[in-house]
Amino acid sequence: MLRFYPADSDRTGGKGAGGTKPPLWIDVFDPSADEVAHIEKMTGAVLPSVGALSEIQASRRLRNEHGVLYMSTPSAAMHPEQSQVTPPLGFVLSRDQLITVRFMALATFDAVADKFASGREAPKSSLDVFVLLCEEIVDRVADILEHLAGELNVLAVDTFQAEDTRGRHAARSNRLLRVQLRQVGRLGDRLSEVRDGIQGLARVVAYVEQNCGVWFTEAPKSAIASLHQDIHSLTEYEEQLANKVQFVLDALVGLIGIVQNDVIKVLTIVSIAGIPPTLVAGIYGMNFKFMPEYDWAWGYPYAWAVIILSTVIPLVWFKLKGWF
């Protein structure tokens, strides 16, 4: 899908009969081969594929070819349901035109497109469009981090402040710990995706500032400076959340170890308490001819009394020591 902004711009690559200008921003959304060929013929730029945008080398992600900047960055948006990864974003920025290449729907791009539709505060240059897109991305990333922070706070409260019923409902507690452990894993994965997006955006913004200084007016300069500050603050906040995720993860692993130790402790107590009666039963189960207790009238009750006492006394001792 191809979208041209402003909407009344000429889409053939030059001025139309009515004197219309070439589009300021071309939004290329999951294009077909014919659409890619049309844009390349119209602009003279080579559009990157999703594979090219996914390259991790800095030289592939950030290139300057004859004054045209080719840039790509991971996206911090949630990946589509049918995909396990989030497709990256591509920017082809020249002094007169911005081409964006994306492979999933993004509310960020729709918000900037609405500015062209409303006519109010519409961007006047390709650099203005790029800055607006970056500002919207930063706002969305901030919202994502706030949402993740809320989920993490709830999980931390459940982990550290919920009533501890593990002694009475060990199986239920184990299931709860597994669920919480998976939640921490999902939060960690999501933060990792957001971190990649923030770092990629920071590199793109710095690269534009470095290579497009002659294009800058006062407004883009201040906007770029503000972007640097916002991205830096988001990076610090993300690092704080990542540390908290690691802290909660360590705590859950520790709680799982405590539950396992409780189970082992119960088995140990039972085994120790069972040793004396087993010894008594073994002694009186020997088939020797001369055993005085065999001729006693109270021999059987006596044996039962010894077995019961030898079981109860260790349990009482363990209870007094606070072992259970």
Q: Compute the average pLDDT of residues 262-282.
A: 82
pLDDT tens string 119-139: 667 777 888 888 888 888 899
Q: Where are the beta strands (DSSP E) in the chain?
A: 2-5, 25-29, 62-65, 68-73, 89-93, 98-102
Domain with CATH 1.20.58.340 in the chain: 263-320
pLDDT of residue 59: 67
Judge whether residue 103 has pLDDT over 80.
yes
Question: How far apart, in whole angstroms, are the C-alpha atoms of residue 206 and residue 78?
Answer: 25
- The long-range contacts involving 23-26, CB below 8 angstroms and separated by at least 24 positions, are 23/97, 24/96, 24/97, 24/98, 24/123, 24/125, 24/126, 24/129, 25/97, 25/98, 25/99, 25/100, 25/112, 25/116, 25/123, 25/126, 25/129, 26/2, 26/97, 26/98, 26/99, 26/100
Q: Compute the average pLDDT of residues 136-163.
A: 84
Please list the alpha-helical segments (H only) found in 46-160: 50-53, 58-61, 107-118, 126-160
pLDDT of residue 300: 82
- Respond yes or no on whether the N-terminal peptide bond of residue 6 is cis (omega within 30° of 0): yes
Q: Compute the average pLDDT of residues 35-44.
A: 80
Question: How far apart, in whole angstroms, are the C-alpha atoms of residue 202 and residue 134?
Answer: 10
Q: Compute the average pLDDT of residues 106-130.
A: 79
Cβ 208 vs Cβ 131: under 8 Å: no
Judge whether residue 237 has pLDDT over 80.
yes
**Hunting for tokens 């950030």 — which residue is that?**
62
Cβ 259 vs Cβ 167: under 8 Å: no
pLDDT > 70 in the chain, percent: 85
Q: Compute the average pLDDT of residues 310-318.
A: 84
Q: Compute the average pLDDT of residues 270-280.
A: 84
The DSSP 8-state label assigned to residue 154 in this structure reads H
Judge whether residue 111 has pLDDT over 70.
yes
**C-alpha 70: how far from its chain's center?**
28
Question: How far apart, in whole angstroms, are the C-alpha atoms of residue 260 and residue 257?
Answer: 5
Residues 6 or more apart whose Cβ sits within 8 Å of residue 314:
272, 273, 276
pLDDT of residue 168: 53
Mean of per-residue pLDDT scores for the chain: 80
pLDDT tens string 243-258: 988 888 888 888 778 7
CA-nearest of 114, 163, 171, 109 to 135 is 109
pLDDT of residue 19: 54
Query: How many CA atoms lie less than 13 Å away from 253 in the CB half-sphere?
Result: 8
CA-nearest of 120, 68, 122, 121 to 98 is 68
Question: How far apart, in whole angstroms, are the C-alpha atoms of residue 191 and residue 204?
Answer: 20
Residue 150: burial class (beta carbons within 10 Å; 0-12, 13-18, 19+): exposed
pLDDT of residue 17: 47
pLDDT of residue 130: 87
More confident residue, 262 or 135: 135
The DSSP 8-state label assigned to residue 15 in this structure reads -
Question: How far apart, in whole angstroms, are the C-alpha atoms of residue 102 and residue 87?
Answer: 7
pLDDT of residue 284: 78
CA-nearest of 43, 38, 37 to 25 is 43
pLDDT of residue 13: 59
Question: How far apart, in whole angstroms, are the C-alpha atoms of residue 217 and residue 59?
Answer: 28
Residue-wise DSSP of 169-182: -HHHHHHHHHHHHH
- Superfamily name and number for 263-320: Magnesium transport protein CorA, transmembrane region (1.20.58.340)
pLDDT of residue 166: 47
pLDDT tens string 157-215: 877 765 554 445 556 667 777 888 888 888 888 888 888 888 888 888 888 888 876 66
- Beta strand pairing call for 89-93 and 68-73: antiparallel
